[in-house]
Amino acid sequence: MKTMRNIWWIAACCLCMILGQCSQADPYADAERGMRAQLGAGFRYGRAEMFVCAGNLDKQTFNDILSGTIGEGAKLLWKQYFTKKPDYPIRIYLFKDEKTYRAYAKSLFNDTDVSYFGYYKPDKRALVMNIGTGTGTLVHEMVHALMEPDFPDAPTWFSEGLASLYEQCNYTSTGLVGLVNWRLPVLREGLKKKTTLPLNELVATTRAEFLDENLGVHYAQARYFCQYLQDRGLLRDFYSGFRDGYKKDPTGANTLEKLLKKPLPEVEQDWLAWAATLE
């Protein structure tokens, strides 16, 4: 009898464990249910990695963005840079045009003063996209979302520079490769009008200083400096070195000088000479 009681007790414990596991909430399923409740019919839903997505797009376009831009993009960014993955779902709202994008930005989050292309809401862990403009801003905002748990202290100049680098990029077997984009004329106009910052000042900017009245020029500077590092095969090493040594080098200046083996004023000269050759 004692043996039978032990068997029944063990079986009961196992059943409780199984039921307990089954009853545990799935945060990704919960996120999708929440998006379905918000958006309802007329949207498609899916998941790629930790991204839970919804879009009022045709099936082929939605699936291509979900598996290609989002799923493959996330895998390549982890391969290149990030070691710590988000342990929570990140929602992506893909709207087919500006009209629905702005309408839902207001109804979902009460956001009215928003970028034409899309934006990331860190407090909501959500990307809200006017995907009718293309997927460049989507990749930009994905970099922010994936970088957040891996390098949460990254200064604005670097987080925006790295994210902006992939607004125009190729997906390759080794990672994303940033290409020349529309920010190059902005950089050249800033250099002409002397609204750019010296490199040692750019890397020392606070978020407010980076996003001041010359923010467009600052974005262009940071973006093309990251491409300069990329084209020399140094961007990945800079990312990991800067992240790991952030407490001792919060601007990244020392890491850059060590990596490039010259002081920042000389680095700036080389960078600007390189930028002048771009087309």
Q: What is the pLDDT of residue 16?
A: 47
Coil, strand or helix at 168: coil
pLDDT attached to residue 23: 41
- For residues 115 and 68, what is the distance between their CA atoms, to the nearest angstrom? 24
Q: What is the mean pLDDT of the chain?
A: 93
Mean pLDDT (whole number) for 181-192:
98
What's the pLDDT band for 21 if we cut at 50, 70, 90?
Answer: very low
Burial category of 80 from C-beta neighbours within 10 Å (exposed 0-12, middle 13-18, buried 19 and up): middle
54-63: buried (b, 16+ CB within 10 Å) or exposed (e) per residue? bbbbeeeebe
The secondary element (H helix, E strand) that includes residue 130 is strand 126-130
Looking at the DSSP bridge assignments, the partners of residue 52 are: 47, 91
What is the C-alpha separation between 240 and 154, in angstroms, rounded? 11
Amino acid 233: pLDDT: 97
What is the percent of the chain where pLDDT is above 70?
91
Instruction: Give domain limits for the chain.
Output: 27-150, 154-279
pLDDT at site 19 = 45
Under DSSP, the state recorded for 133 is: G
Confidence class for position 25, pLDDT limits 50, 70, 90: confident
DSSP state of 31: H
Instruction: Indicate whether 35 pLDDT > 60.
Output: yes
For 27-150, CATH gives 3.40.30.160
pLDDT at 8: 54
